[in-house]
Amino acid sequence: MNAWSRVVYAAVAVGMANVSCAGAADLGVEIGAQPPPLAFRAPLRFFSWSGCYLGGHLGWALANNDLTGSAFVAPAGPLNNQSFVYVTDTLPINFGSNGFLIGGQGGCNLEFTNRLVIGFEVDAAWANASGSSQQLRGGTVIGPLGLPTTVNTASTLATKTDFIATATARLGYAFGSVGQGLIYGKGGAAWIANRDSLTGQLLATACVLPTADQPPKCQTSANFLTPFNWTSRETRTGWTIGVGVEWAIVGNWTIKGEYNYLDFGTRTVTLIDRDLDPTSVSIRQTVNEFKFGGNYRFAAPFQSLYY
């Protein structure tokens, strides 16, 4: 390249540099300037599940009760303290109970940047869940002088649940465009308070005046009624697992729906009667809960990220 060409190329380069600087000046951009500070960047807002909350719920409880064991009564009249009659089946008896729940809950959550949410929750509910099983039995026993006595019993086995509470750990995942939904699983300890009862009566038709024949025959019979009313109160401890969905609606408020399974195992229950001896039965109990409720969150519902 000759000297004249080098002069031309140098002039062109200087001209292009001047044009670039002028264009940058027209756009208001300072050469070598830093990016705008964080406060001037556009924020990306997302819902945060971190923080503590309180709320309430309504629901429905479906319990399954498996009873094993028998209660027996000595009929009044000539057979009193001579023969005992079973007033319930000796085989396992299964019956359900159901009713509504109303209660409250509270807990705390911690959400991570990958939308994973962990937490702890306690809830307690007043319950009105009841169920019963009718027991009708009849037969004949041998009374005094070898004469038959007819016995018939009518009884009701019943269970009523007054209170259910749980303490659980929760693990969930936030979903939705800004993480405003939460799907979660939960598991932990459970408690239940029940009232159990076995009430009814035993009717015995026995001979009160035999003939002088040999063997004797019954000349006059009479009816003898023996009432019974065994009751018990019990509180059980068990375990629970469940799943649920929660959704942010407005401000700090959320709504949720939840299903829980509770298992209280098998427990021997002693029933007490005012006049008769105590009797014991074994009851296995499980509960299915369906609950709908809402929570108020105390932390700020939204946080901001910058891009």
Look at 233 and 3; give whichever has higher pLDDT: 233
Domain check: are 14 and 85 in the same one?
no
Mean per-residue pLDDT, 225-252: 95
What is the sign of the dihedral through the CA atoms of 100, 103, 107 and 111? positive
Query: In 3D, which of 50, 182, 188, 180 has the Cα closest to residue 119?
Result: 50
Domain check: are 15 and 53 in the same one?
no
Q: Which CATH number covers residue 272?
A: 2.40.160.20
Mean per-residue pLDDT, 166-175: 97
Query: In 3D, which of 223, 305, 217, 232 has the Cα closest to residue 271?
Result: 232
Look at 150 and 41; give whichever has higher pLDDT: 150
Count of other CB atoms within 10 angstroms of residue 97: 22
Q: Which residue has the tokens 């309504």?
A: 58
**Tally of CA atoms within 13 A in the half-sphere of 264 that contains its CB:** 26
Domain check: are 24 and 49 in the same one?
no
3-state secondary structure of 81: coil
Domain check: are 61 and 22 in the same one?
no
Mean per-residue pLDDT, 280-302: 94
Residue 13: what pLDDT?
47
Q: Which domain holds residue 208?
A: 44-306
Residue 6: what pLDDT?
54
Given a cut of 90, is residue 100 above it in pLDDT? Answer: yes
How far apart CA 37 and CA 34 sit, in angstroms, is: 8
| Residue 18 within a domain | yes
3-state secondary structure of 202: strand
Q: What is the mean pLDDT of the chain?
A: 85
Domain check: are 12 and 133 in the same one?
no
pLDDT tens per residue across span 105-164: 999 999 998 999 999 999 999 999 999 999 888 888 887 777 888 889 999 999 999 999
| Residue 55 within a domain | yes
pLDDT tens per residue across span 47-68: 899 999 999 999 999 999 998 8
Domain check: are 147 and 99 in the same one?
yes
Domain check: are 221 and 294 in the same one?
yes
Domain check: are 12 and 156 in the same one?
no
How far apart CA 205 and CA 153 sit, in angstroms, is: 12
| Residue 38 within a domain | no
List the structure tokens of 180: 């405003």
How far apart CA 147 and CA 82 sit, in angstroms, is: 13
Q: Which of 154-163, 250-259, 262-271, 272-281 has the lowest mean pLDDT?
A: 272-281
Given a cut of 50, is residue 247 above it in pLDDT? Answer: yes
3-state secondary structure of 252: coil
Which value, to the nearest 10 degrees, does the dihedral of the CA atoms of residues 69, 75, 79, 81 take? 60
Domain check: are 3 and 77 in the same one?
no
Domain check: are 26 and 98 in the same one?
no
| Residue 215 within a domain | yes
- Amino acid letter, 4: W
Given a cut of 50, is residue 11 above it in pLDDT? Answer: no
- 168 sits in the region (left: phi over 0; alpha: psi -120 to 50; else beta) called beta
The total number of structural domains that make up the chain = 2
| Residue 173 CB partners (closer than 8 Å, separation 6+) | 115, 116, 117, 182, 183, 184
Q: Please, which residues bridge with residue 16 across strands?
A: none
| Residue 39 within a domain | no
Mean per-residue pLDDT, 25-40: 49
List the structure tokens of 148: 């038959």
Domain check: are 69 and 3 in the same one?
no
Q: Which residue has the tokens 């009523």?
A: 160
Given a cut of 90, is residue 212 above it in pLDDT? Answer: no
Cβ–Cβ < 8 Å for 241, 261: yes
Q: Which of 196-205, 207-216, 222-231 has the lowest mean pLDDT?
A: 207-216
Domain check: are 137 and 239 in the same one?
yes
